[in-house]
Amino acid sequence: MALPEHRSTPTDTLGRRLHDLRLSVTDRCNFRCTYCMPKEVFGRDHAFLPKSDILTFEELLRLSRLFVGLGVEKIRVTGGEPLLRRDLPKLIEMLAGIDGLKDLTLTTNGSALAALAKPLRDAGLKRLTVSVDALDETIFRAMNDVDFPLARVLEGIDAAHDAGFGPIKINMVVKRGVNEHQIVPMVKRFSGPHYILRFIEFMDVGTSNGWRLEDMVPAADIVALIRREIPLAELPANYAGEVARRFRHADGGGEIGVISSVTQPFCQSCTRARIAADGQFYTCLFAATGHDLRALLRGGLSDEAIAKAIAALWRVRDDRYSELRSDATLALPKAEMSRLGG
Ligand code: SAM
Ligand code: SF4
Ligand code: SF4
């Protein structure tokens, strides 16, 4: 029997189906990573979203269910810093219970993970990504720009292992002249079966991080730099459209990957939807504006009407910012990543 229109998976103008959902649960963060929330812009007087604008757990659950009904199989909880959201394990438990959801994961800066890893695991979180940009204390503190100690994040990662997470993904954003000489130490530290290390090209998300092409280290250079010291064997993609190029240490010591969003864009296979903490629905990481799903949720619309609206927005999606990146696109207005969900 054919599914009613609002229950079947929509496909956009480039033939990309809706498959992943990134759910931002807060626009706040206790770090001021220079590439994401530079403190000159996100200072004391920065206007974060008021509580009343932020989706409640019930609203997040309702939207998530509707997206799963439209074909989403994977939800990544993010932010801002998601662990700052009060009672987060409760939300995880609610999302973990969604029928048809195959994967539930979360990206965090790890600062509060030591206390929360076990409650999150017990609540049903399946996988975890922790961002770590350096193993050198001075560089780590300079990149988070709030003098946060590396040891607390490493304790969080240990706590996550103890709680049963594994392998844990580690994200490292590489910025030229800042942390590129941390690449090889990171490969050595996060080797073995317990970790999957991902190097991410510095991206021109938002308009406040002062992005310049020359500050971005291309993924190919990252791989070449590692290969000078550590032999790597390339791995086949796990699935069509996987964004990371994957390698394993030739001696069998674990997996690394590079995400070349700038040098080798993967828009053609981009199946990600994003919901900001205030319920704005973004169809691209580089979009300037979203679509207000909160107004639909709070306006008394039925599930069917909201699902139909989401499907209609996905069907007209034509985003491919990274493929079109140029001096001209750099000047376009874009929402901040901390707002729309990294
Ligand atoms: N606060 C959490 C964290 O840092 O893991 C989750 C949100 S953060 C926006 C999600 C991911 O985006 C992090 O791994 C972060 O390093 C990455 N990110 C932020 N700004 C970036 C940029 N300009 N270029 C590339 N990656 C970036
Ligand atoms: Fe916060 Fe994550 Fe952005 Fe760093 S990357 S400022 S930890 S939201
Ligand atoms: Fe997807 Fe937009 Fe990134 Fe392209 S630029 S991969 S469409 S989020």
Residue closest via CA to ligand 2's atom 3 equals 36
pLDDT(208) > 70: yes
Residue at 13 is within a domain: no
Question: Do 182 and 197 touch, CB atoms closer than 8 A?
Answer: no
Weakest-pLDDT range from 48-52, 167-171, 220-224, 251-255: 251-255
* pTM metric for this prediction: 0.96
CA of 68 to the centre of ligand 2 (A): 27
Ligand 3 touching residue 285 (CB < 6 A) = yes
For β-strands 74-78 and 195-201, DSSP reports them as unpaired
Q: Return the ligand 1 atom nearest residue 337 CA.
A: 9
Residue 1 pLDDT more than 50?
no
Looking at residue 209, what is its pLDDT? 87
Q: Whose CA is nearest to atom 19 of ligand 1?
A: 36
2 domain residue, yes or no? no
Contact 62, 297 (CB under 8 A): yes
pLDDT digits (tens, 9 = 90+) for 109-154: 999 999 999 999 999 999 999 999 999 999 999 999 999 999 999 9
Query: What pLDDT is attached to residue 293?
Result: 98
Mean pLDDT of the region 318-322: 92
Centre of ligand 1 from the C-alpha of residue 132, in Å: 10
Residues in contact with 160: Cβ distance below 8 Å, sequence separation at least 6, in sequence order: 113, 117, 121, 128, 130, 168
Q: Is the CB of 284 under 6 A from ligand 3?
A: yes
Contact criterion met (CB below 8 Å) for 139 and 110: no
Q: Cα–chain-centroid distance for residue 259?
A: 12
CA atoms within 13 A on the CB side of 221: 14
Q: What percent of the chain has pLDDT over 90?
A: 83
Is residue 58 included in any domain, yes or no? Answer: yes
Mutate to test the pocket of ligand 2, among 39, 81, 175 (most ligand atoms within 8 A of CB): 81
Residue 164 alpha carbon to ligand 3 centre in Å: 32
Rounded distance from Cα 304 to ligand 1 centre (Å)? 34
Reading phi first (left if > 0) and then psi (alpha if -120 to 50, else beta), residue 155 is in alpha
Tell me how many domains the chain contains: 1
Q: Are 167 and 190 in contact (CB under 8 A)?
A: no
pLDDT in tens, 295-316: 999 999 999 999 999 999 999 9
pLDDT band (50, 70, 90) for residue 254: confident
In tens, the pLDDT along 39-52 reads 999 999 999 999 99
Q: Best substitution site from 28, 29, 113 to test ligand 2's pocket, by max atoms within 8 Å of Cβ?
A: 29
**Is residue 14 a part of any domain in this protein?**
no
CA distance linking residue 88 with residue 79, whole number of Å: 12
Q: What is the CATH number of the domain that holds 186?
A: 3.20.20.70
Q: Would you place residue 6 in the very low, low, confident or very high pLDDT band (cuts 50, 70, 90)?
A: low
Q: How far does CA 135 lie from the centroid of its chain?
A: 21
pLDDT tens-digit map of 73-119: 999 999 999 999 999 999 999 999 999 999 999 999 999 999 999 99
Within-domain flag for 3: no
Q: Is 254 within the bounds of a domain? A: yes
- Bridge pairing between strands 20-24 and 255-259: unpaired
Residues 159 and 187: beta-carbon distance below 8 Å: no
Q: Is 4 among the domain residues?
A: no
| 303-315 and 57-69 helices, crossing angle to 10° | 60
Tell me which residue has its CA closest to atom 4 in ligand 2. Answer: 33
- Note whether 7 and 70 are within 8 A (CB): yes
Q: Is the pLDDT of residue 2 over 60?
A: no
Q: Which ligand is nearest to the CA of 259?
A: 1
Rounded to the nearest integer, the mean pLDDT of the chain is 94
The answer to whether residue 9 is domain-embedded is no
The ligand whose atoms approach the alpha carbon of 209 most closely is 1
Question: What domain range is 261 assigned to?
Answer: 20-340
